[in-house]
Structure 1
């Protein structure tokens, strides 16, 4: 079981490949605030709803100085198909080995339909310009999460 991050913790750096198989590093965003969200699988109903909510809120988030990065265990080709099908305009990153998911506490045991399973824990983080965690939210709901996050961040 991976340990959970809390506000004030340094955000674990990473370099992952995006939907175009190009490397993207968290350190590329140093000096900016960035939302890093982890989701189980591209193209599933909940993950599609969440990604589309981020897409639809992206202009307001960007205007407030926030970038958005989505991370899942999906391979870049699946991410590209998801991005193109849903018109997503922010980077989707591939973590097939689940190393980044684990480092951020977003992979481990969770309850699903009353059973304990091991998998991706839908989680959202806000990383400050200096690389520290400002917000750490685990077990978020796909529906309504972006609206709540916007309210919490006053965006």
Structure 2
């Protein structure tokens, strides 16, 4: 025996719709990875990469729909307790990627000249150091308006 169709709910009696303003939402993701290795006392390498992104929404107004008499809905197999709709929403999407690689090399000239025997006054002052670094960064931002309801 099929169920009879449910009675249509009445606004302000069974459910309410409220307008909400000033809503802002952000979803942000950040990732970093760093690798540093010292291959010998003479050579050190490092690499760092990062990614970040954000998804922002800015609706000028939002509508909140909620049941004021949820027991009415319990008589039906499926029901929704409440939901929100965003109206004429501005959406922004941002992303950024960056990477940096560096190499350092050091030659202990003082120690080499002394044959590994420490000599006063001929220590770190005669050592040679060199380093190189390279980095890149890219960013992107998109923005659009999702007109009407249904976002």
Length-normalised TM-score, structure 2: 0.19
Return the structure number with greater helix share. Answer: 1
Task: Tell me which structure has the larger Cα radius of gyration.
Answer: 2
TM-score by length of 1: 0.19
More strand by share: 2
